[in-house]
Structure 1
Amino acid sequence: MAKIKEFFKDTKTSGPHPTEVECGYQVIRGREGVLLQLSTYGSDSRQSEKKTSQTLQLDREHAAELLRIIIHAFPDLKDEAGGGLR
């Protein structure tokens, strides 16, 4: 469980994961501003009840950076996002 401090391009070889999980999100408003929290939950095959596996928090700066990364990976989303970033 961590707040993102930096994004960097990873150059290691990777492929699709064999399992899927659910991801919940929350908008947290605090003294330091707004945070977007993303929490993944264990796969359906997990033997115990559903619980949080990993939580990531992004402030506005890092959310904007993630949005740029997403638009770079999926350029067609730019049109759906109302013309992209300003």
Structure 2
Amino acid sequence: MARIREFFETTNSSKPHPTEVECGYQKVTTPAGDLLQLSTYGSDARQSEKKTSQTLQLDRVAAAELLRIIKETFPGLS
């Protein structure tokens, strides 16, 4: 579980993951401002009950940077 401080591009070799998961999102209100929280849940093959696997939080600055990255990766999205 972590709050994203910075995004940077990597050049590591990568391939698609073999499993898919669900991702929940919610707004977390703090005195310093709102955060977007994304929480992934275990795959369908997980033997235990559904529970949070990983959580990421983004503040407004990080969310804006992620939006820029998404638009750069998927041209034509508005």
TM-score category of the 2 structures, normalised to the smaller one: over 0.9
Following superposition of structure 1 onto structure 2, how do residues 1-86 of structure 1 map, counting pairs within 5 Å? 1-77=1-77, 81=78
Amino acid at match of 1:3: R
RMSD, matched Cα:
0.5
Q: Post-superposition shift, 1:32? A: 1.1
**Greater RCO, 1 or 2 (C-alpha within 8 Å, sep 6+):** 2
TM-score normalised by the chain length of structure 2: 0.98
The gaps in structure 2 that reach 5 residues or longer are none
Q: Post-superposition shift, 1:36? A: 0.1
Cα separation, 2, equivalents of 1:50 and 1:76: 35
The gaps in structure 1 that reach 5 residues or longer are 82-86
Partner of 1:84: none
Cα separation, 1, equivalents of 2:40 and 2:74: 22
Provide the aligned length of Structure 1 versus Structure 2: 78
